[in-house]
Chain A
Amino acid sequence: MNMKTTTPIMRTRAFVTVFMKEVRENLRDRRTITSAFLTGPLLGPIIMVMLLNITLNRQLDKAEKPLPVPVSGAEYAPNLINALKAEGIVPKPAIANPELAVRKQDADVVLRISPDYATAWRKGEAVQVELIYDSSQRDANASVDRLSSVVETYARQQGAMRLVSRGLSPSTAWPVVAAKRDQATAQARAALVFSILPYFFVLTVFMGGMYLAIDLTAGERERQSLEPLFANPVPRWKILAGKLGAICTFSAASLLISLVAFGVVGRFVPTEKLGMELNLGLGFSGQVLLLMLPLIVLLAALQSMVAAFAKSYREAQMYVSLLMFVPILPSILLSTMPIKAQGWMYAVPLLGQHLGIMQLLRGDGVTPEQLGLCLIGSLAASVLGVLVTARLYRSERLAISG
């Protein structure tokens, strides 16, 4: 019974043994497989396609289709009505209660022309037409904008003609004209729509490892297999390392599937119709993977830590679900308050990844310093996370069920 000679073999094998067993066991669990390889990674691309399609269709629809607008008092302003028709706006018969109709979404917008329109027009006085709409109906906003711009253009043309007929240049009335020069590149416009993307990647990594993390600590304790496991001549940190390795493998696989799915989806989304450019190709995937690597380890450690605190599987599930909200924070923060990215922000885990992926989406690329800061910051955090979890694993209570 000379075990001393076999010690070197054991050193290398304990990690691999735990790792292989956890991977094999979890590959046999349908729920884990579904969450890690199906719903987790594909949720993002599917939601993205749906969102984009809705936005695209809506914008294209509103721009090209004839816009029916109920008009009351159309008979007082035949020229205005003709101008509207020329721009694809179809005047409809007046309706009884325009205010109510708009609120009930029976009409996007209603145009009201007052009976004294004709008299005032002839006298050369300013006349008023009313656009009745409900700005809380976001769906109607495109219609309102379109109608109001047609009316304003008409007014400007008529005004110019009146000035000319009085022998004045139209520029007397409009001494300053604002010309808009949009500097957003096509890619940058796409990035605005895709600002939710970094969160999807984090979420995918999270969901890929979630069930494993719960199963490998809280689950194992609840099923009373942690105590016999710890009776083996293997230091607990090696067991933890094997388990973390398995969690990381699953979440990395999840991320990979998600990146491939986004790559495929990116080819079919008609972003050019929105005047956007989107590159989700290999270069993008590779850099995202690199940015996310330390985060994979960090999330695995955090999930295991939280699951180790819980007394039961259910409790662990609850804690880990709450933890899922943490990665949303940078996304919300950046979308609600448009902060200018500072260098140090790249070193903050999650925030750094978010900024980096946004840079990639905008087509600006990530500088080596930004990449370095992001990797070092997240790596430091994940080392800390692993150390704390390892410490937790040393506790006597961890193994004891019930």
Chain B
Amino acid sequence: MIEVRDLHKAFGTVKAVDGVSFKARDGEITGLLGPNGAGKTTTLRMLYTLMTPDRGQVLVDGIDAAQDALAVRRELGVLPDARGLYKRLTARENIDYFARLHGLPEDLLDSRREALVKALDMADIADRRTEGFSQGQRVKTAIARALIHDPRNVILDEPTNGLDVMATRGLRQFMQHLKSEGRCVLFSSHIMQEVGALCDRIVVIANGRVVADETPAALREQTGEANLEDAFVKIIGSEEGLAA
């Protein structure tokens, strides 16, 4: 369970995040929806303690990020906006590196890694060096290394960015699978269909503020729009930065 209370973050005079609060519950997929530049990535970066909020509180499974950042990171599996791999290492070695940084014992590491390789359908690329990987292969490797320590909470920053249709479908199924395991899944996106199809709850962010926090059905009802995309436009009040 991830809880965010009244987060603020400014870069110089630009208020990137200006009072964001929401909850992402276990066994649910929560979508952070918003146009480009709305403050999604900055919000997530404060969640996984890469940045310190100017004001506000981040709680992961009840642990305050300001009090114990390392403990928070232990409870999180993160696919950041930047998802670079080590190109001179194989996919397996990339995953193992993060596993060891998490302090995973070697025997557990093996079984966890192989389970993820199977679940993400990447057995054919696991022993290849990651140089020259396709976007899809790269995202799979990055997700596997993010989840190697079996975290209860999973944060994915625009996970389907740059993926083709098949890879996107595969990733959505994987997210459903994570949800069915009872994990708390929080992901950001600017794509309507994706959020509508996957999420139990949608948090809409615009200009650094939460403008809606509802189930997809309630969102449609509230705006009186049957189409989620139209509902979204109505909520944020402009079509700027939208992508279908």
| B190 interface hit (Cβ, 8 Å) | no
| B74 interface hit (Cβ, 8 Å) | yes
Number of interface residues of A (CB under 8 A): 34
Give A226 Cβ to nearest chain B Cβ, in Å.
7
- Stretch from B25-33, B80-88, B113-121 contacting the other chain: B80-88
B95-115 interface code vs A (CB 8 A; 1 in, 0 out) = 001101111010000000000
Q: State the CA gap A25–B97 with chains docked (Å).
A: 11
Given A228-B146, A234-B101, answer yes or no on A25-B82 (Cβ-Cβ < 8 Å).
no
| B212 interface hit (Cβ, 8 Å) | no
Query: Do B84 and A224 touch (CB < 8 A)?
Result: yes
Give B91 Cβ to nearest chain A Cβ, in Å.
14
- Stretch from A1-9, A267-275, A348-356 contacting the other chain: A1-9
Partner of A233, one of B52, B70, B146, B152: B70
| B243 interface hit (Cβ, 8 Å) | no
Query: Do B87 and A233 touch (CB < 8 A)?
Result: no
Partner of A231, one of B76, B103, B105, B152: B76
Given A223-B87, A401-B82, answer yes or no on A396-B101 (Cβ-Cβ < 8 Å).
no
Query: Do B101 and A232 touch (CB < 8 A)?
Result: yes
* Identity of the chain B residue whose Cβ is nearest the Cβ of A26 in the assembled complex: B88
| B78 interface hit (Cβ, 8 Å) | yes
* Identity of the chain A residue whose Cβ is nearest the Cβ of B76 in the assembled complex: A231
A5-29 interface code vs B (CB 8 A; 1 in, 0 out) = 0110110011001100100111011
Q: State the CA gap A361–B223 with chains docked (Å).
A: 85
A-B contact count (CB 8 A): 92
Query: Do B82 and A225 touch (CB < 8 A)?
Result: yes
Give A201 Cβ to nearest chain B Cβ, in Å.
29
Q: Which residues of A contact B17 (CB under 8 A)?
A: none
* Identity of the chain B residue whose Cβ is nearest the Cβ of A18 in the assembled complex: B101
Q: State the CA gap A177–B66 with chains docked (Å).
A: 86
Q: State the CA gap A131–B93 with chains docked (Å).
A: 75
Query: Do A25 and B70 touch (CB < 8 A)?
Result: no
Q: State the CA gap A18–B103 with chains docked (Å).
A: 12
Q: Which residues of A contact B75 (CB under 8 A)?
A: 1
Q: Which B43-59 residues sit within 8 Å CB-CB of chain A?
A: 45, 48-52
Query: Do A231 and B88 touch (CB < 8 A)?
Result: no
Give A212 Cβ to nearest chain B Cβ, in Å.
13
Give B130 Cβ to nearest chain A Cβ, in Å.
10
Q: State the CA gap A227–B71 with chains docked (Å).
A: 18
A234-265 interface code vs B (CB 8 A; 1 in, 0 out) = 11000000000000000000000000000000
Number of interface residues of B (CB under 8 A): 37
Query: Do A231 and B78 touch (CB < 8 A)?
Result: yes
Query: Do A7 and B103 touch (CB < 8 A)?
Result: yes
| A344 interface hit (Cβ, 8 Å) | no
Q: Which residues of A contact B83 (CB under 8 A)?
A: 224, 228
Partner of B101, one of A14, A28, A223, A226: A14
Query: Do A235 and B70 touch (CB < 8 A)?
Result: yes
| B142 interface hit (Cβ, 8 Å) | yes
Query: Do A231 and B73 touch (CB < 8 A)?
Result: yes
Partner of A9, one of B76, B88, B103, B145: B103
Q: State the CA gap A228–B51 with chains docked (Å).
A: 13
* Identity of the chain A residue whose Cβ is nearest the Cβ of B79 in the assembled complex: A228
Q: Which residues of B contact A17 (CB under 8 A)?
A: 97, 100-101
Q: Which residues of A contact B51 (CB under 8 A)?
A: 396
Query: Do B152 and A1 touch (CB < 8 A)?
Result: yes
Query: Do A233 and B88 touch (CB < 8 A)?
Result: no
Q: Which residues of A contact B167 (CB under 8 A)?
A: none
Q: Which A349-402 residues sit within 8 Å CB-CB of chain B?
A: 396, 399-401
Partner of B103, one of A6, A26, A29, A401: A6
| A230 interface hit (Cβ, 8 Å) | yes
Query: Do A232 and B73 touch (CB < 8 A)?
Result: yes
Q: Which residues of A contact B85 (CB under 8 A)?
A: 223, 225
Given contacts A14-B103, A17-B101, A25-B89, 4 further A-B contacts (CB under 8 A): A13-B103, A21-B97, A231-B76, A233-B70
Chain A residues engaging chain B, CB cutoff 8 angstroms: 1, 3, 6-7, 9-10, 13-14, 17-18, 21, 24-26, 28-29, 220, 223-235, 396, 399-401
Closest 10 CB pairs of A and B: A10-B103, A224-B84, A225-B84, A224-B82, A233-B73, A223-B84, A227-B82, A232-B101, A17-B100, A231-B78
21 interchain pairs (CB within 8 A)?
A3-B74, A6-B103, A10-B102, A18-B101, A21-B93, A21-B97, A24-B93, A25-B88, A25-B89, A29-B88, A225-B82, A225-B84, A227-B82, A228-B80, A228-B84, A230-B50, A231-B48, A231-B73, A231-B78, A232-B101, A399-B50
